[in-house]
Amino acid sequence: MKRTNFVKMGTSLSAVLLLAACGNAPTDEGTGEESAEGSSGSVQVDGSSTVFPIMEGVAEEFSIENPQARATIGVSGTGGGMEKFIAGETDITNASRPMKEEEAQMLEEAGIEYTEFKLALDGLSVVVHPDNDWVDYLTLDELESIWLEESDVETWADVRDGWPDEEILLFSPGTDSGTYDYFDEVILDGEQIDREASLSEDDNILVQGVQGSEHALAYFGYAYYLENQDTVKIVPIENSEGEIVEPTSETVQNGTYEPLSRPLYFYVNNASVQENDTVYEFAKYTLEMAGEMAEEVGYVPLEEAEYEESLETLESLR
């Protein structure tokens, strides 16, 4: 008796959980492969966490319109997503920077053909504490000298005469993020960022850092600025034309807020588009919805014509 009790008890936990899991199983089955309600295959998306909110919105709507289809989205980061894309594990990968040369090369070696699509725009926002009343704008050179490891700018006074002689506290996204990569490339030409800067993969930490110190300076995605407009102050940036511009959906979209506006991308596996209707439908749906979704989650849509052009490119892949 005791023996059987032991066996029973040993598996009771797992049995309960198994039953719970199986209870949900049959709901999706039975309707067959081909359903009247759009596509019923699956599409695997992975990549940048910056792009994720847009894709989540798209996938949410897509799942409502195609209840039989299975769209899954991971957030392995731009680089991690590329790795899975190269391994052929995903159909679509999101990126907050253009594909690197070595990644393109590895894809070629793996025999994977792909197409790049722009999804939306993000304006990297440079922000300071709201009580910071001295910074009116920054030039690109000033930004570079502040953030560069090999420069002697340590205090605000080093940047411009008359600014307070207080050390600048720097907050930057972590080195795994495409945001960091982009800033490092356009502002620092790929040089070492100031080692005293606090790095965090969580942009909310950067926001808190700036809120906590009058002498702080940070940069992060536009969506995080939009959500915290009352507690941080935006710094207008002098663009290459000499205009002083602050990021808004207009200046990001029309390209005057440069070079800190960056496109967000998604890469599609061409073979997947040809062989898997769901991937094609999903990619098409993404391009149709991207503008609306981008706006909703705090990014800037591309011009309508660009989406239409992309849709034509997608059609040509079929």
Partner 1 sequence: MKNKVVVANEKQISKRITRNKLAKGLFLAATLFGMIVLATLIVRIVTQGIGYLDFGFLTSYASRRPEDAGIKAAILGTVWIMSITIPVSLILGVGTSIYLEEYAPKNKFTRFIELNLANLAGVPSVVFGLLGLTVFVRLLEMGRSILAGGLTMSLLILPVIVVASKEAIRSIPQEQYEAAYAMGATKWQIIRTVVLPAATPGILTGAILSLSRGVGETASLLMIGAMTFIAYTPTGVLDGFTVLPIQIFSWASRPQVEFQAVAAAGSIVLLIILIVMNSLAIVIRNKYSKRY
Question: Applying CB under 8 A, which residues contact partner 1?
Answer: 2-3, 6, 9-11, 13-14, 17-18, 20-21, 24-29, 44, 46, 49, 52-53, 55-57, 59-60, 63, 70-76, 84, 87, 89, 201-204, 221, 223-224, 226-228, 293, 296-298
Report residue 68 as tokens: 């039989």
Within 13 A of 201's CA, how many CA atoms are on the CB side? Answer: 9
Q: In the block, which residue shows the tokens 């800067």?
A: 197
Smallest distance, Å, CB 108 to partner 1? 20
The residue (of 55 and 120) whose beta carbon lies closer to partner 1 is: 55
| Terminal C-alpha separation, the chain | 66
Minimal distance, residue 252 CB to partner 1, in Å: 16
At a CB cut-off of 8 Å and minimum separation 6, what does 71 contact?
42, 43, 45, 59, 62, 63, 278, 282
CB of 98 to partner 1, least distance (A): 23
The smaller minimum CB distance to partner 1, of residues 156 and 222, is found at 222
Cβ 176 to partner 1 shortest distance, Å = 12
Q: Which two tokens stand for residue 269?
A: 């596996």
State in angstroms the smallest separation of the CB of 301 from partner 1: 15
Q: Which residues contact 276 (CB under 8 A, 6 or more apart)?
A: 41, 43, 91
Residue whose CB is less far from partner 1, 74 or 247: 74
Report in angstroms how near the CB of residue 105 gets to partner 1 at its nearest.
21
In the complex with partner 1, which residue's Cβ is closer, 75 or 159?
A: 75
Nearer to partner 1, 76 or 261 (CB): 76
Of the two residues 42 and 256, which places its CB atom closer to partner 1 in the complex?
Answer: 42
